[in-house]
Structure 1
Amino acid sequence: MASLKRRTLINAAIGIAATGYMRRLMPLAAEQEPASAPVPLPAQTPPRTMRRVRPADPDWPSARDWASLKEKVGGRLLEVSSPFDACRASPRDTACKNALAQIRNPYFLGDEPALTQSSGWIDAWTSSPSVYAVAAEQPNDVAEAVKFARDRRLRLVVKGGGHSYQGTSNAPDSLLIWTRRMRGIRLYDAFVPLDCEGDMPPQPAVTVGAGEIWMHVYEAVTTQGGRYVQGGGCATVGVAGLVQSGGFGNFSKKFGTAASSLLQAEIVTADGIERIVNARTDPDLFWAIKGGGGGSFGVVTSLTLKTHPLPDYVGVVSATLKAASPEAFRRLIDGFLAFSADSLLNEHWGETVSMRPDRTLRISMLFQGLDRAEATRIWQSFFDSVSGANDSIRMTEPPQILAISARHFWDPAFIMKNAPNAMKADTRPGAPKRNVFWATDIADAGQFLYGYESMWLPAALLDPSARASLTDALFQASSQWNVTLHFNKGLAGAPDEVLNAARETATNPDVLNAFALAIIAGEGPAPFAGMPGSAVDVPAARRTAARIHDAAQSLRVVAPRAGSYVSESSYFQQDWPRAYWGEHYPMLSEVKRKYDPDGLFFVHQGVGSQEWDREGFVRLST
């Protein structure tokens, strides 16, 4: 699309006087004007000093106010209560037992407006129900909720999948816009975004409602449609949140980020207007939601993403190796890094390799575009070198290299039949058979986080001149806590078209030169309020948090100013605007001031959040 230069369009859009700036509206409600009718963006005014109201305040909406909102949203206003409230009254009650039985089921957690997929973070946040929730089913429901919260100075929260580690889809004393019911998946053979005819060629795409999760999208696009859409590796993550935060999937080195696949989105902004945004209409806002963080610029109600030709095969390489001594483990790390530089820095490879305090190296890699024989040939040199290490390194889990048709990779019926331990099912009575998730993700359901650190590691550290320093840093860090390298979350080695597309997003440019995202994290079982015996061992959690922090500091010796992925990072991230968005943050701030001058949309460490107190109730500066 040569005639649409992103930065030129964004700068022009920011610089144009707001009065008279024309946009098209979505024709999704009978009372709206047709989509072709121009609507001026309201003139910007200086942000107001604001204190949001709580239920105990005299300005809290009256029962009549809430009844009026309920009527406007077709009865879809809910008073929110936790399913574990039953446990407070009677721990042996059937309702309490049923809720406790589902605590490791991400579908149960996602379908409860009071709950979140993570239950909290030590000394940071705990999962707390909103007072009310609008269970939105159409964009007008969202628009009415936005206007209600804006006019009555309410703390507003947006939740789809509810997978935020940092608690951004959760806040007590708030009104929740719950997009879980905004479903729908539509495939296109030839899609052109609004007003982009002549600038963009028609291309295959999929439009997805904001409440969809990736497992169901993969089922429609890949299992049934025979194509690929770039989504998340965790099957129960919400589509809208992942795209807005950048979004990495198993094969990002081949297909790029989810944000870079976004062709068009529908979003409700703080003025209550429903907008269609793309590279031509509101290009600055379109750019900002491609990696600028969920919940900061508006409420996304649907997304249209390009789809890609499906490779013939996808596969897995797994093995566990254990070193007999610290010196042998250091050699093992160095040998693996050398192998990575030679063989894994390309479009075929993704997923993880972990290094652990017990001197084990755990390989759990995925590949695409290769068959089993080709993958085996690539890894043979590394496994041969390990076999030749005498007794200093041994295989505690022998290598397994498998490949299947890519069309079956997210096919529940195929996986359940051929690899029944790889997936788990939604165990609620009457749950659809399509409700499955990867067994390895069960630990995330309800987890209470102790610490979570991430950093993009530059590919330059794999050069022979720098590799010894990286080896030492990984050795030191992994002696304190598990360190996992996510190869699909760094784009070094990706094709030029993938890198160019990622440059057109708001994600920190550090990702372009990173060979992997290093993650160091730890968690414990869920302690949702009301659960029997759910108290957190605070001293133990804090000790774990300190070890995770120290391990991250050991690794940062070689990458002291490395960026961090906004969706997978520390709640206490230092210098977060630079870490999450780098040089893009000033432009994101301009977009925020343009479309949300009063800061209606607040999330922890989101764009503009430094103007508010920690809970998002009191504006500290303007």
Structure 2
Amino acid sequence: MDRRTLLKTALVLPLLPFAARVDAFVTGEGRWLKPGAAGWPTDADWDALNRQVGGRLSIPKNPLLDPATRAEALANIDNQFYVGDQPGLTQTGAYYRAWTSTPSARVLAAESAQDIATAVTWARKHRVRLVIRGGGHSYLGASNAADSLLIWTRRMNTVDMVDGFVPQGARAGTAGVPAAHVGAGAMWIDAYHAVTTTGGRYIQGGGCTTVGCAGFANGGGFGSFSKGFGTGASNLLEAEVVTADGRIRVVNAFQDPELFWALKGGGGGSFGVITRLTFRTHELPDMIGGVSGTLQADSDDAYAALVAQLLRHFRDRLCNPHWGESMEFHGDRRVDLKMLFQGLDDDAAKAAWQPLLDWVAARPAYRWSEPFWAKALPARRFWDIRFYRDHGLHFAVPDDRPGAPAYHMMWAGDKEQVGTYLYAYTSAWLPSHLLQDGNLATLATAIVEASREQGFALHFNKGLFGASRETLDRARDTAMNPEVLDAFALAIIATGGPSVFEGLPGAHRDDAKAQRGEDATRRAYARLTRVAPGAGAYFSESDYFQKDYRKAYWGTNASRLAAAKRRYDPDGVFVVRNGVA
């Protein structure tokens, strides 16, 4: 299943000896100091840093454990915007046998690149681990670490459009393109509001509106319409970044091009602290819409035939720039359709599905347990909470806290992500040859058998097979694994459980259930990837314990990324789980 429907509210994972061992690996086996160790900064050292950054340094706390903030926290703990506003919390709460959301030793609420440059220089001198957070959604735990200095960019959230952007250092005569300057702390709803709702242009961002723009692009960045507009990384035109030496650099295809390339999918936080991004914007399609429905088969044979027909239908009618999002496959012979489309009206969208509807209607082995539904709406209103309110639609949920920006909205299904406790999370790109007639039945069998172990989803927008040549060419010039160019979908197999943040009433960690979930996920992954041995994985949505992660995330680009790391961060100031080292 996809992350929006599968991952449940989370529980804090107590710090196990295993987790401590993993944390030592992540932080460089003693590279960084711990409180109490010789050389750990004194209060005077921290105070000196605080003065240098204008008093924007503080000690973060879990608001659920602070009597002064507990009532407010309990009232808002399912609000992604509230959680993102708390430097002592993270959007993802924990990962079984890996990490738990833990406040840092100090947090810098940065307001400028100079604030960040000062902090990076100070941390390098004092051997304090750095953690970078914009949105706080990292499944790999990169958004938090105890005994660290958290660089929190949330206040750096401006979004400004420009009609004819030309990168710094570009050759004379370089034509300008429509673009948007986006602060590192902006969430995608900030960008969608400024660029689409207000500006009438399209910007390629994430499906979840509270995801941070910087981490999204640094990890590669798939949106709902990546087959149409490319990845977030491939639309990045320029970035301002603070590197390990404390320099503020403006990088693009003309200035520090290798660093710029590395930032386009090289893994969040591995090469520096991004402070501003400039993204290409696109002409906005007239309409954006959705398709949903649930099909139920009455026998195992019928289920296998249904899966094969859905894959065939996707290949013939939907594997193109208009379509994205997912189909979910379940062990009870059920398939959930959760697709989005752009550039089509109601009639065109329904026509694309009519062959499948006719096929189902002609066979009594199938029924719609949730009726088929397809609807388009004006693209400019897709991220406009007022539109949904005015039309009595309940897909979107506002940030209803007093004083919150009126445009802040999250998708109703995404509320389940708050504080997620992951039992297991895996992903695999599936190559296009699996859709050929001679391979399709084998793929369908693998999907059916894997879904019996653990329900999962194929995310068709997270593979670029079916995209235009221009889209593919731009994606080819990023650090992502080139497998993505030929992948028709990303399979995501994941599970999470009924858990809570530390301090939430009823918090209980069920290790036995978590282990069963992890085991089921690994069995499903093993079965599915028999048809795609050695399949690559998507950095931002992948296994904490990913085997051969360099090859999985970056493929043939791994050695080039390692060279960029040696050049721009030779001492390993920036270290993240499964990152470039």
Separation in 1, partners of 2:111, 2:444:
51
Q: Aligned-residue CA RMSD in angstroms?
A: 1.3
> After superposition, where does 1:531-550 map in structure 2 within 5 Å?
531-550=504-523
Deviations 1:170-213 (A, max 9, x none): 10111111111112111001110001143631010000100000
Is 1:111 aligned with 2:85?
yes
Separation in 2, partners of 1:339, 1:318:
15
> After superposition, where does 1:501-512 map in structure 2 within 5 Å?
501-512=474-485
Q: TM-score, normalised by structure 1?
A: 0.88
> After superposition, where does 1:378-389 map in structure 2 within 5 Å?
378-389=352-363
- SS at structure 1 position matched to 2:69: helix
Tell me which residue corresponds to 2:7: none
- Aligned in 2, Cα 1:52/1:545: closer, same or farther, shift over 3 Å? same
Question: Which stretch of the first structure deviates more once superposed, 394-403 or 430-439?
Answer: 430-439
Deviations 1:297-317 (A, max 9, x none): 000000000100001111111
Tell me which residue corresponds to 1:441: 414
Is 1:357 aligned with 2:331?
yes
Mapped contact 1:446–1:525 kept (Cα < 8 A): no
Is 1:257 aligned with 2:228?
no
Is 1:321 aligned with 2:295?
yes
Tell me which residue corresponds to 1:577: 550
Question: Which stretch of the first structure deviates more once superposed, 585-594 or 427-436?
Answer: 427-436
Separation in 1, partners of 2:30, 2:374:
58
Separation in 1, partners of 2:536, 2:392:
37
Tell me which residue corresponds to 2:541: 568
1:431 deviation in Å?
Answer: 2.0
Separation in 2, partners of 1:511, 1:297:
22
Is 1:477 aligned with 2:416?
no
Separation in 2, partners of 1:94, 1:328:
58
Q: Which amino acid aligns with 1:353?
A: M
Which protein is bigger by CA-based radius of gyration?
A: 1
Tell me which residue corresponds to 1:125: 99
Is 1:603 aligned with 2:576?
yes
Mapped contact 2:157–2:187 kept (Cα < 8 A): no
Separation in 2, partners of 1:548, 1:604:
21
- SS at structure 2 position matched to 1:295: coil
1:340 deviation in Å?
Answer: 1.1
Separation in 1, partners of 2:392, 2:335:
24
Mapped contact 1:589–1:607 kept (Cα < 8 A): yes
Tell me which residue corresponds to 2:309: 335
Mapped contact 1:424–1:436 kept (Cα < 8 A): yes
Is 1:75 aligned with 2:55?
yes
> After superposition, where does 1:292-331 map in structure 2 within 5 Å?
292-331=266-305
- SS at structure 1 position matched to 2:453: coil
Aligned residue among 364, 368, 371 for 1:395: 368
Deviations 1:153-172 (A, max 9, x none): 11111011000011011101
1:234 deviation in Å?
Answer: 0.6
Q: Which amino acid aligns with 2:101?
A: S
Separation in 1, partners of 2:65, 2:350:
53
Separation in 2, partners of 1:199, 1:458:
40
- SS at structure 2 position matched to 1:479: helix
Separation in 2, partners of 1:95, 1:170:
20
Separation in 2, partners of 1:529, 1:401:
41
1:112 deviation in Å?
Answer: 0.4
Aligned residue among 21, 24, 44 for 1:64: 44
1:101 deviation in Å?
Answer: 2.3
Separation in 1, partners of 2:530, 2:174:
45
Tell me which residue corresponds to 1:528: 501
Separation in 1, partners of 2:246, 2:289:
46
Q: Which consecutive aligned stretches of 4+ in structure 1 deviate over 4 angstroms post-superposition?
A: none
> After superposition, where does 1:195-234 map in structure 2 within 5 Å?
195-198=169-172, 200-234=174-208
Separation in 2, partners of 1:305, 1:94:
41
Aligned residue among 400, 412, 420 for 2:393: 420
Aligned residue among 88, 100, 110 for 2:74: 100
Deviations 1:70-118 (A, max 9, x none): 01101100111110223xxxxxx67323212222111011100011001
Aligned length: 554
Unaligned runs of 5+ residues in structure 1 are 1-47, 87-92, 609-622
Tell me which residue corresponds to 2:438: 465
Tell me which residue corresponds to 2:108: 134
Separation in 2, partners of 1:306, 1:273:
25
- SS at structure 2 position matched to 1:499: helix
Tell me which residue corresponds to 1:25: none
- Aligned in 2, Cα 1:65/1:312: closer, same or farther, shift over 3 Å? same
Mapped contact 2:157–2:190 kept (Cα < 8 A): no
Mapped contact 1:452–1:520 kept (Cα < 8 A): yes
Mapped contact 1:455–1:518 kept (Cα < 8 A): yes
Q: Which amino acid aligns with 1:273?
A: R
Deviations 1:571-616 (A, max 9, x none): 11111000000000001001001111110101000001xxxxxxxx
Separation in 1, partners of 2:31, 2:429:
37
Tell me which residue corresponds to 1:289: 263
Q: Which has the higher contact order (CA 8 A, sep 6+)?
A: 2
- Aligned in 2, Cα 1:193/1:61: closer, same or farther, shift over 3 Å? same
Q: TM-score, normalised by structure 2?
A: 0.94
Tell me which residue corresponds to 2:34: 54
Mapped contact 1:119–1:526 kept (Cα < 8 A): no
1:403 deviation in Å?
Answer: 0.6
Deviations 1:356-404 (A, max 9, x none): 11111110111111111111111001011001111x1111111111011
Separation in 2, partners of 1:50, 1:331:
55
Tell me which residue corresponds to 1:243: 217
Separation in 1, partners of 2:351, 2:311:
18
Mapped contact 1:508–1:584 kept (Cα < 8 A): yes
- SS at structure 2 position matched to 1:85: coil
Deviations 1:239-264 (A, max 9, x none): 00000001011110010001001110
Separation in 2, partners of 1:298, 1:587:
17
Is 1:157 aligned with 2:131?
yes
Separation in 2, partners of 1:140, 1:196:
25
Separation in 1, partners of 2:372, 2:443:
25
Separation in 2, partners of 1:596, 1:199:
34
Separation in 1, partners of 2:205, 2:482:
20
Separation in 1, partners of 2:432, 2:346:
27
Tell me which residue corresponds to 1:487: 460
Separation in 2, partners of 1:507, 1:527:
34
Aligned residue among 175, 190, 212 for 2:149: 175
Question: Which stretch of the first structure deviates more once superposed, 528-537 or 70-79?
Answer: 528-537
Tell me which residue corresponds to 1:376: 350
Q: Which amino acid aligns with 1:523?
A: G
Q: Which amino acid aligns with 1:99?
A: A
Tell me which residue corresponds to 1:367: 341
